[in-house]
Copies of this chain bind each other. A is one copy, B any other.
Amino acid sequence: MNVQSNPVTASDTNARVLSYAEAIREAMAIAMQADPTVILMGEDIGVYGGAFQVTLDLIDRFGPERVMDTPISELGGAGVAVGAALTGLKPIFEFQFSDFAMLAMEQIVNQAAKLRYMLGGEAAVPVVFRMPSGSGTGAAAQHSQSIEAWFGHVPGLKVLQPSTPEDAKGMLLAALADPDPVMIFEHKLLYKTKGHVPEGSYLTPIGKALVRRTGSDLTIVAGSIMLHRALEAAEKLATDGINVEVIDLRSIRPIDRDTILTSVRKTGKLLVVYEGVKAYGVGAEISAMVAESDAFDYLDAPILRLGAADAPVPYNPDLERASVPQVDTIEAAARRLVRREV
C-alpha cells in the first residue's frame, strides 16, 4: 500500500520505510525517552511484546516499571491509567483488542471523558488508549469489531484512526502532547503495512482530515484500512475516466468538517466507507453532517454509505470478507453513484 504522504511532513524526503507497528513503537520510544512520565500499560505488552507485537522490545529498553503487564483486568487497568493520568503520569494503555474495551466503558466514558468537565476544568486526564481493531483475521465476533463510532458520540474524548505508518506515529505523539484523553484505533491488518515515516518527533494534527487523492466526480471519505481500499477502487475507476477524490478521515472526533464539505461542494457526490456496522456508524455522522450543511445544495445525488453487514463478524473467511466493504464493492457503489443509479 502506498498513499500520498501527509503534506505537513512530506518535506522530509529522506523518510525511512517502517511498518505501521514499527512506527507506533517508535513513537512510544521517542516519547518515553523524552518524558519520564510516559508509561505503557496493557496485557502482555512486556516480554510477549503485545498480541500484535507492537510493543515488542520496549520492555528491554525501558524496563518493567515503565512497560507494565497488567493482570487481565480491563476495567481496573484502564481505571488505573485514568487515575495515573489524573495525577501526573501519561499512560498509554493498550487494549489487547478494542473489543475488550467494552469491559472498561465505565472508566473511559464515565470517568476519563467527563472528569475535566465534572470538575469544572480543575482536572485533566491525559491518557491514551490504543485500540487494535477491525476484522479480517478470522477471529470472529468478539475479536473483530469496529466500535469507534461509539466513542465519537462521547464529548471529552478525541478519537483517531491512522491509515499510514507516518500518521500512526504522528498521531500517537500528538495524542501524548494532548491534555485530554485520546483513543487511537489501529487496524490489525495495517500493522504490517509499510510506508515512509519521518525521523524524530512530529505531531500529526488532531482533527484534520487529508485529501489523499484529488478528483472531481465523486468524494469518498474513508479512514484506516478503508482508505486503502477506497484508493485502490479509485485507481480502477480512473481507468474508466471517473475521477474520485479520496479523503482520509483520520479523526473521528473532532471531525474535519471543512475538508469534507469543501470536497463535496466540488464533486457534488459523496460516498462514505467504513468498517463498522453501517447503521449508526461513523458514516452516518458524516452523511448527516453534510446533509445539514450548505453543501447540501451542491449535492446532485444521494449520499451513499458502505459499512459492515448487519451482523456480528462471522468466522468463515469468505463470510467475513463479504461482511465488510472491499475494493470491488466500493468500486461498484461509486459507479452507481456517478451514474446516479441510486
Residues on A facing B (Cβ under 8 Å): 75, 99, 102-103, 105-106, 109-110, 113-114, 117-118, 140-142, 147, 149-150, 152-156, 253, 255, 276-277, 279-285, 287-294, 296-297, 299, 301-305, 309-312, 314, 342
B118, B153, B303: the one within 8 Å of A291 (CB): B303
B287, B288, B312: the one within 8 Å of A113 (CB): B312
Across the interface, name the chain B residue whose C-beta is closest to A142: B110
Bound complex: CA of A312 vs CA of B118, how far in Å?
A: 8
Query: Could you say how many copies of this chain the assembly holds?
Result: 2
Evaluate contact between A110 and B102: CB separation under 8 angstroms.
Answer: yes
Q: Please name 15 pairs of A and B residues whose Cβ atoms are closer than 8 Å in the assembled complex, sorted by A.
A: A102-B109, A102-B110, A117-B314, A118-B140, A150-B280, A153-B280, A153-B281, A155-B309, A155-B311, A283-B288, A284-B284, A284-B288, A287-B287, A288-B291, A292-B342
Please name all residues of chain B whose beta carbon is closer than 8 Å to the beta carbon of A156 when the two chains form the complex.
312
Evaluate contact between A288 and B305: CB separation under 8 angstroms.
Answer: yes
Q: Name the 9 nearest CB pairs between A and B, nearest first.
A: A287-B288, A153-B280, A296-B302, A102-B105, A284-B284, A152-B280, A284-B288, A291-B303, A291-B291
Bound complex: CA of A105 vs CA of B74, how far in Å?
A: 12
Bound complex: CA of A44 vs CA of B105, how far in Å?
A: 23
Answer whether A279 and B152 are a contact pair too, CB < 8 Å, given A118-B140, A141-B118, A303-B291: yes
Please name all residues of chain B whose beta carbon is closer than 8 Å to the beta carbon of A289 when the two chains form the complex.
284
Bound complex: CA of A140 vs CA of B255, how far in Å?
A: 26
Evaluate contact between B292 and A303: CB separation under 8 angstroms.
Answer: yes
Bound complex: CA of A109 vs CA of B141, how far in Å?
A: 10
Across the interface, name the chain B residue whose C-beta is closest to A75: B103
Bound complex: CA of A110 vs CA of B312, how far in Å?
A: 9
Please name all residues of chain B whose beta carbon is closer than 8 Å to the beta carbon of A276 when the two chains form the complex.
153
Bound complex: CA of A304 vs CA of B301, how far in Å?
A: 18
B106, B117, B277, B309: the one within 8 Å of A141 (CB): B117
Bound complex: CA of A277 vs CA of B288, how far in Å?
A: 14
**Shortest Cβ gap from A278 to chain B (Å):** 9
Evaluate contact between B142 and A312: CB separation under 8 angstroms.
Answer: no
Q: A117-B311, A118-B140 are in contact. List 4 more A-B contacts (CB 8 A).
A: A99-B110, A110-B142, A283-B288, A287-B287
